[in-house]
């Protein structure tokens, strides 16, 4: 079954005139792995988000579409905190603990804060 991420990746490939092999080479994976991601049989590696945005020079609208596709498909997020400051680690843990209790108004406030960071 084609996932939201799969649909996004396939459309991106087709719009750029690429076949699975082309995108797989750019992402340094096998064609079968990329196909499995597109078809929902494998999860998209977390590193692909930034990598695809950079490789394909996605504009702000495309980045938002990609982020939405990821959100619709993923059921868990793994964060690498190895090089994060103590303040950032505490923020991540605090956010994770309170995540289930965040209401719609707070979601919108947080989204606005994050979008301001994208405009810098």
Confidence at 118, pLDDT banded by 50, 70, 90: low
CATH 1.10.260.40 fits 4-73, yes or no: yes
pLDDT of residue 108: 94
pLDDT of residue 85: 95
Start-end of CATH 1.10.260.40 domains in the chain: 4-73
User: Each residue of 27-74: pLDDT tens digit?
Assistant: 999 999 999 999 989 989 988 989 999 999 999 999 999 999 988 887
Q: In this structure, how many other beta carbons lie within 10 angstroms of the beta carbon of residue 32?
A: 12
CA angle at residue 43 from 104 to 45, to 5 degrees?
A: 90
Q: Is the pTM of this model over 0.75?
A: no
Q: Nearest 10 degrees: CA dihedral of 20, 23, 25, 27?
A: -130
């Amino acid at each position: 079954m084609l996932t939201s991420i799969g649909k996004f990746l396939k459309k991106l490939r087709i719009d750029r005139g690429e076949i699975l092999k082309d995108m797989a080479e750019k992402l340094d994976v096998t064609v079968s792995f990329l196909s499995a991601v597109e078809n929902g049989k494998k999860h998209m590696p977390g590193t692909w988000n930034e990598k695809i945005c950079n490789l394909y020079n996605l504009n702000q609208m495309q980045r938002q579409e990609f982020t939405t596709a990821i959100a619709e498909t993923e059921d868990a997020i793994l964060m690498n905190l190895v090089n994060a400051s103590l303040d950032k680690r505490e923020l991540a843990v605090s956010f994770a603990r309170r995540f289930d209790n965040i209401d719609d108004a707070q979601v919108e406030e947080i989204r606005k804060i994050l979008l301001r960071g994208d405009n810098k």
